Structure 1
Amino acid sequence: METKLLSNSTADLQEAAHLLKEGNVVGIPTETVYGLAADARNPEAVRQIFAAKGRPADNPLIVHIAKLEELESVAVSVPELALKLAEKFWPGPLTMILPKHPSIPTITSGGLDTVGVRMPSHLVARKLIELSGVPIAAPSANISGYPSPTTAQHVMRDMHGKIAAVVDGGDCCVGVESTVIALEGEDSVRILRPGYVTKEMLETVVPHVTLDKAILHQLQEGQTVRSPGMKYQHYSPHAHVTLIEGRWPEFAAWVQQHAEVGTYALVFDGEGADLSVPYLTYGTGDAEQAHQVFAKLRELDDIGAKRVFVRAPNPNGIGLAVYNRLIRAAGFEVIQV
């Protein structure tokens, strides 16, 4: 099919909403990354998402809503704690795992009896949900396993000819996928996937916040995938990525000792001038690094990198989300120097 590139004008948003209502798949902007959107209640439409991405069927999708009152049409029950978290963090990059409503088919939930729900803060995303009148299932709009897209051009490159349209809403301001949490009782949550909403932020609402082991470690064979982004290898460019932990002098020495033809480094802003290999930078603070990391991984492929040594970010705050994406991009190949 011919994939239309639409603007965020009223007429184009109405066209995109009509496509969604008719059971088509549309690339849409959110504040986190671009999503591959379809009617979450339409199994055939959702099946097109999996086909376009090449996504495993056991990897659940997140359902997006535009208003809090729409939550009860997606989740069969909503605990008081979920409402408190929604009041604090919605609209925004927080996904909550809740018992799914019967209207949500098992293909959307990855075969689980739960569903991830969030309300995006991106105005274009919410407008499309409102105009279409349906809850939208929207995983990242990339080929499965490849770095997530943060511009409409990334989506067109991955999805041209596979989906009906892409809405250009500009660059994503956050740059990594939403934080995913599971509620565990009345006063406890577990972070399944880190994102812009950090453990410290959640602790302003919830007394007990824990980090799932799978954030920094591989799932065991046969273990259920409770959230998107928990698979072994994910977010990976075609280049071979290795994550390097350590101070700059040791990092630089190690890279120069192990560099081969086609080796690049991905380092912090202000670093790299004394390296003997070509390099890109991806910011200094954790929010900057989250905003840039996927675009830089894609750029390394564009410039022909065969191997990439990445300077590991500080795994605290939003930096934990960046570290989580990079450790999966590297297939858990981490070297300490």
Structure 2
Amino acid sequence: MDDVALDLNAIRAAARRLEQGELVAFPTETVYGLGADAENPAAVAGIYAAKGRPSNHPVIVHLAPQADLSYWAAEIPPQARQLIDAFWPGPLTLILKRAAHIPDAVSGGQDSIGLRCPSHPVAQALLREFRQGRGGVAAPSANKFGHVSPTTAQHVRDEFGIGPDSLVKCVLDGGQSEVGIESTILDLSRMATHGPVLLRPGHISTARIAQVIGWQPRLPDAAAPRASGTLEAHYAPSTPVALVEAGLLPETVQRLHAHGRRTALLRRAALPEVRAIAQAELPAEPDGYAHDLYAALRAMDGAGADIILVEAPPAENDWQGVNDRLRRAAHDSQGVLARLLDAGR
């Protein structure tokens, strides 16, 4: 993303809007974020209102590279420093014990806080300009709660509209997000009792984390902190989504077509003579697939289909983040495919 042009006047204006308690959308290397001053509870409440987000669902606080981590976190285990040295700026969010003076609004009332330093040059410039780099910007993805995350400025405009009549006053355009899915979230707030816990997979894999800290992250238990993007149903288009194994895709599409069902299709390989009203071929490797996934889901969502069929990706570790997003996108559509097929009998 080093070739992204920086509109410094627009970035300064956006920083002033944040300081005045307004909402600003901005690019990160993962997805576009909807930002507010993390220490202004009224501004953070505006995020929840704009997104329709439950107030107990925490948001991630984004920091400039030179930020004082101890201002935000009451406890910083050595593993956090190791991971910061290895992966910040970058797509890794660390859950730490929240400093007592940080408002509850960003943590959903928990005693923990999610912190991240993004690598996108526009995000970094904004964070350096906001309160001279000493502030934090609370920013979940810039979309309605539970919907597909935005990876372009136009996606944000499509969600909210931008301007005086919108809760979102401006969006900084930084091109398409480089990673394309949200950050890995790792809980380090209970190191003494639980060790590192993976709350959300992403671009930074558990294998890479384990290489740095010498400790394989475990899966969350019932007492794990709530974290952004971890509800069972999330990242979903309006059109139902179903995951289908590659070998079953042609037959499934043909059966749906025979029953008069309109099908959109996301696949990793060409499928000749498949009767889908819209389809997209995504890259065969996980990073490229993640980069294109949300834009493809949005495009298929606008095709007027009854269902979006997605060729199930491999179940390998490198695909963990992609599979997590697709599983959640399809969660509320469980059973829809069977009903569409049965309805034609």
Same-fold call, TM > 0.5?
A: yes
Report the Cα distance in structure 1 between the residues aligned to 2:292 and 2:240, rounded to whole angstroms: 19
Partner residue, 1:176: 181
Q: Does 299-308 or 122-131 show the bigger shift?
A: 299-308
Partner residue, 1:242: 242
Q: How does 1:87-98 map to 2 (within 5 A)?
A: 87-98=85-96
TM-score, with structure 2 as normaliser: 0.87
Q: How does 1:94-133 map to 2 (within 5 A)?
A: 94-133=92-131
Q: How does 1:1-337 map to 2 (within 5 A)?
A: 8-133=6-131, 134-160=135-161, 161-183=166-188, 184-185=190-191, 188-212=195-219, 226-244=226-244, 246=245, 248-259=246-257, 260-268=260-268, 270-278=269-277, 279-331=279-331, 333=334
Report the Cα distance in structure 1 between the residues aligned to 2:35 and 2:47, rounded to whole angstroms: 8
Amino acid aligned to 2:185? V
Check the 8 A contact 1:189/1:206 in 2, yes or no. Answer: no
Distance change in 2, residues 1:233/1:108 (3 Å): same
Check the 8 A contact 2:185/2:202 in 1, yes or no. Answer: yes
Report the Cα distance in structure 1 between the residues aligned to 2:240 and 2:98, rounded to whole angstroms: 38
TM-score, with structure 1 as normaliser: 0.89
TM-align CA RMSD: 2.1
Instruction: Mark the runs of 5 or more structure 1 residues left unpaired by the alignment.
Output: 1-6, 215-219
Check the 8 A contact 1:27/1:155 in 2, yes or no. Answer: yes
Matched length: 320
Report the Cα distance in structure 2 between the residues aligned to 1:106 and 1:76, rounded to whole angstroms: 14
SS at match of 1:165: strand
Amino acid aligned to 2:143? N
Residue 69 of structure 1 deviates from its aligned partner by 4.1
Check the 8 A contact 1:286/1:317 in 2, yes or no. Answer: no
SS at match of 2:187: strand
Report the Cα distance in structure 1 between the residues aligned to 2:317 and 2:119, rounded to whole angstroms: 20
In the TM superposition, what whole-angstrom CA distance separates every residue of 1:89-147 from its partner, at most 9, and x where no partner exists? 10100000001112321111011110010110111111111111220000000011110
In the TM superposition, what whole-angstrom CA distance separates every residue of 1:158-198 from its partner, at most 9, and x where no partner exists? 12122111000111000000000012537942111000000
SS at match of 1:330: helix
Bigger fraction of residues in helix: 2
In the TM superposition, what whole-angstrom CA distance separates every residue of 1:290-310 from its partner, at most 9, and x where no partner exists? 001111111112222221111
Report the Cα distance in structure 1 between the residues aligned to 2:206 and 2:66, rounded to whole angstroms: 23
Residue 68 of structure 1 deviates from its aligned partner by 4.8
Partner residue, 1:3: none
Report the Cα distance in structure 2 between the residues aligned to 1:208 and 1:52, rounded to whole angstroms: 39
Amino acid aligned to 1:51? A
Check the 8 A contact 1:59/1:227 in 2, yes or no. Answer: yes
